[in-house]
Amino acid sequence: MTGNRFIRRPGMLSPEPKFGRMLGASMILHLIVVLVFTGVLIPRMKSEPRPVYVVDLVNLPVANPQAGRPDATPKRKPVKAAPKPKPTVQPKPKATPKPVAKPKPKPKLAAKPAVKPTPKADYQDVMSAIDKLKRQKELADLKQKLAAMSTQDTRTHAVNAPLGEVAGSGTEEGVGYQSWLTQAYRNNWSLSQYQVSHPERLEIQVDVVYDARGFLKDYIVKKDSGDRRFDDSVIRAIRAVERLEPPPSKEFKETFTFNLKDLLE
């Protein structure tokens, strides 16, 4: 070395600045990929939750449901009161002459007993009586509220909405066969989430067929979930609903999708 000059000797490697830049760019690229997939830079797309309706199975299904909501209550027609019978006019009886009453002798006036003075009410007694009346009124109000709550329908449904389907275009008041069967299958299904693996991803699609008389004709697994226990539990729920009442006028076939996460809610 002479002065500040660098003398390259044989066998020495020359520095490569391009390798450092390539290593830094690779690290930055890997960091961007990690941030994208974790949702930091680009948020993950979230699907809107589907509306869940609790269908009352007491309301029988219809072939052409009208526009409305499956969880609404049907409107009851007012019962006409029977006409009141006209009162019959009876003839007035003839007046009979009243007997003349003999004057009674006046009783002798007895001496009035001496009136004892009533003691004045104590202040504490008056306040105790007022508190007692207040407690009685509060108890009566509480009983009235409890009685009103016991008669109310606690299910979540629109009171003013007609009984039907959201996308209904028919004229009949009631739910469709698909909504009715979906609720019936949910009521007959039972399985614990601890009996299956990966409960958040389990989903099965089944084609269900009922004949024109309403009897269960066939069910075909269109797409299984990969978990035998979950698939068997869905098939048991389908087989439990053996008949549709009232029966459809023609063969009914529909594809039902069963998701474990939705069934557990």
The answer to whether the pTM exceeds 0.85 is no
Helix, strand, coil percentages for the chain (3-state, nearest 5): 30, 10, 55
Going by C-beta distance under 8 Å and a sequence separation of 6 or more, which residues neighbour residue 60? 174, 180, 245, 246
Residues 3-19 have a mean pLDDT of 55
Q: pLDDT for 69-95, tens place per residue? A: 888 877 766 667 667 777 777 777 676
- Taking 80 as the threshold, does the pLDDT of residue 227 lie above it? yes
Mean of the per-residue pLDDT values of the chain? 77
- State residue 225's pLDDT score: 93
pLDDT-derived band at 253, boundaries 50, 70, 90: very high
Percent of the chain with pLDDT over 90: 28
Rounded distance, CA 29 to CA 3, Å?
43
- State residue 13's pLDDT score: 52
- Taking 70 as the threshold, does the pLDDT of residue 12 lie above it? no
Residues 175-185 have a mean pLDDT of 94
Pairing of the two strands 203-210 and 216-223:
antiparallel
- State residue 10's pLDDT score: 56
Residues 193-210 have a mean pLDDT of 88
Q: Please state the domain extents for the chain.
A: 51-71+157-188, 202-264
Please choose, from the candidates 5, 55, 15, the residue with its C-alpha nearest in 3D space to the C-alpha of residue 187: 55
Residues 91-114 have a mean pLDDT of 69
- State residue 47's pLDDT score: 46
Residues 118-123 have a mean pLDDT of 60
Rounded distance, CA 28 to CA 20, Å?
13
- Taking 60 as the threshold, does the pLDDT of residue 36 lie above it? no
